Structure 1
Amino acid sequence: MEFGRLITAMVTPFDNEGNIDWTTTERLLERLIVEEKSESIVVAGTTGESPTLTHNEKLELFSFVVNKVAGRAKVIAGTGSNNTRASIELSKEAEQCGVDGLLLVTPYYNKPSQEGLYLHFKSIAESVKLPVILYNVESRTAVNLSAQTTLRLAELPNVVATKDCASLEQLATIAANAPEGFRVYSGDDSAALPALAVGAYGIISVASHVVGKEMKQMIDSYLAGDVAQAAKLHQELLTVFKGLFYCPHPTPNPVPVKHALSLTGLPVGSARLPLAPITSEEAAFVASLPPLQKRMQS
């Protein structure tokens, strides 16, 4: 299964009552595929507010996105949690919805050992036939999936990739030692180009909601050997990469990117509590980001 180099971790649009806005979800999918050049879409991941989506809402989203995408991009379902049995159940149901792959986050709050992490992911992977992408994000889960455990999991036949938000050193270690065909994705937009340079295959992105087209140009320039052009594009986009997480202080994703979408003509609603609505200071900061201003004027 080829998921491509630019994958968007999609927000979940909500209406004024906080329910899923299906019309806007379809519009967002069209933008991501046609305008922003996303090759795969992650549904109900962290950016999609998975902690506050119900089990049934996730299944509805999986089926809806599969239907609307209609093979134009791959659909990756976020089915990981800190409950192995629940993750297995949701993963099996997602498979029945027709998704192309699964994204499994490291278990949060429980703080399992590396052996516990291995057994957790192994149990889920063996319960389905779908390809599995591991997701290591210590800043949210309080546990790091080590390079050694990742490489151990990479030996399982349907564990095909990892989205790693640890250091470039860890990412490089995985890329250098993984089985042939195992893909390493950066989970940090601001490290996208450096990650490619040390062996990453691509990026699972938040910023690609609003600058995906430019990110694809950056990746293509690097792969074509035009490192100077890739660096120039990365430098131009860095304000958005950083600004969507620090505006001007740490602000939880997806609050800023949802506002950025509204500024560029696609209102997707606010985040669900316990994420607070964007403040006037944060909104003004997002609106001031040069790449977004350029998009707003076009």
Structure 2
Amino acid sequence: MRTGPFGRCAAAMITPFAEDGSLDLPGTQRLAAHLVDRGSCDALVVNGTTGESPTTTDTEKAAVVRAVVEAVGDRASVVAGVGTADTRHTVALARAAETAGAHGLLVVTPYYSRPTQEAIVHHLRTVADGTGLPVMLYDIPARTGTGTALTADSLRLLAGHERIVAVKDCAFDPLKSGLVMADTGLAYYSGSEETNLPLLALGAAGCVSTVANVAGHQVRAALDAFAAGDHGTAARRNAALLPLVNAVMGEVPGTVAVKALFRAAGLPGGPVRGPLLPAGEELTGRLVDALKSVLGSPVWEG
């Protein structure tokens, strides 16, 4: 495994809200500190989709970055999601994140307007030019549209930018991923739990994990075993996590599942914002059972 610029295990952190739907900044700091100090995460991705970025304001996004950076200090990298479908807005968010103390940026390919590959490359380079922060590209065509999937040639071009250093890969295209890893210095991070070990085998640096919100130690343990060359243990640890992965990611967005687990445990998380809807009682029960089967204990304490 190559060493990645954002560590090995990054949690795609939820954004805790108070019961009235406002930001819960103390809860955000409590969760961030837990994930770093006891959850084995060496990076936190905030203001991503799992963090409900489509529903938070620019001011709220900056407040989340400041709170998390204050909570974890230099113990972990804080990567701020800033991607939008508007180049100027994305650059503005990137600069605000830099001012708020972020250590890196997560930039999704622009969506909905169906830009060409040339336009996508120009957009991403423009964002990377806008700050001094390292950039993780986010390739997730299932969300942005298949026409906006980064091609291998586009990724090779983007790898030439001094601040574009990593890719969060949700493309489910192992041939493309393997070719780009072989041809460039881009550090790949699996963005889908089920591809963690396959991408590590191709040379990835780690993962950006939603499940790490509730089982960070277990996610990290599988990665560490692989890095140590103990692939059998890595496979067993990964297999033990899959029922929880299926429960958290299988029926509803991961944000909904994680917040349901936190609510069941009386922990910070709070409600989801529309258009998401909260998990019902039956689903919450299945989630709790799946988590207990992996942890044998509550989500976390403290």
Same-fold call, TM > 0.5? Answer: yes
* Separation of aligned partners in 1, 2:221 and 2:238: 10
Gaps of 5+ in 2: none
Residue 169 of structure 1: aligned partner: 175
1:49-68 matched pairs, under 5 angstroms: 49-68=52-71
Residue 276 of structure 1: aligned partner: 277
Residue 115 of structure 2: aligned partner: 112
Relative to structure 1, is the Cα distance of residues 278 and 123 closer, same or farther in structure 2, using a 3 angstrom cutoff?
A: same
One-letter code aligned to 2:87 = T
Q: 2:201 aligns with which of 197, 203, 219?
A: 197
* TM-fit CA distance, 1:178: 1.1
1:37-56 matched pairs, under 5 angstroms: 37-56=40-59
Residue 189 of structure 2: aligned partner: 185
Which TM-score applies when normalising by structure 1?
A: 0.94
Residue 240 of structure 1: aligned partner: 244
* Separation of aligned partners in 1, 2:267 and 2:41: 17
* TM-fit CA distance, 1:209: 0.9
One-letter code aligned to 1:268 = G
Q: Kindly indicate whether residue 153 of structure 2 is the aligned counterpart of residue 148 of structure 1.
A: yes
Relative to structure 1, is the Cα distance of residues 126 and 232 closer, same or farther in structure 2, using a 3 angstrom cutoff?
A: same
* Separation of aligned partners in 1, 2:262 and 2:40: 16
Q: Kindly indicate whether residue 27 of structure 2 is the aligned counterpart of residue 24 of structure 1.
A: yes
* TM-fit CA distance, 1:293: 5.9
Relative to structure 1, is the Cα distance of residues 261 and 97 closer, same or farther in structure 2, using a 3 angstrom cutoff?
A: same
Q: 1:74 aligns with which of 52, 55, 77?
A: 77
| DSSP 3-state at the match of 1:296 | coil
Q: Kindly indicate whether residue 88 of structure 2 is the aligned counterpart of residue 92 of structure 1.
A: no
Residue deviations 1:43-82 (CA, integer Å, cap 9, x gap): 1011100000001101111112111211111111111110
Residue 295 of structure 1: aligned partner: 297
Relative to structure 1, is the Cα distance of residues 171 and 242 closer, same or farther in structure 2, using a 3 angstrom cutoff?
A: farther
* Separation of aligned partners in 1, 2:120 and 2:212: 30
* TM-fit CA distance, 1:13: 0.2
Q: Kindly indicate whether residue 127 of structure 2 is the aligned counterpart of residue 124 of structure 1.
A: yes
* TM-fit CA distance, 1:100: 0.6
One-letter code aligned to 2:262 = L
More relative contact order, 1 or 2 (CA 8 Å, 6+ apart): 2
* Separation of aligned partners in 2, 1:193 and 1:263: 30
Which TM-score applies when normalising by structure 2?
A: 0.93
Gaps of 5+ in 1: none
Is the CA contact 1:43–1:78 (under 8 Å) kept in the aligned structure 2? Answer: yes
Report which stretch shifted further, 7-16 or 212-221.
212-221
Percent same amino acid among aligned pairs?
Answer: 37
* Separation of aligned partners in 1, 2:259 and 2:44: 16
* TM-fit CA distance, 1:164: 0.8
One-letter code aligned to 2:288 = A
Report which stretch shifted further, 22-31 or 79-88.
22-31
* TM-fit CA distance, 1:264: 4.7
Residue 227 of structure 1: aligned partner: 231
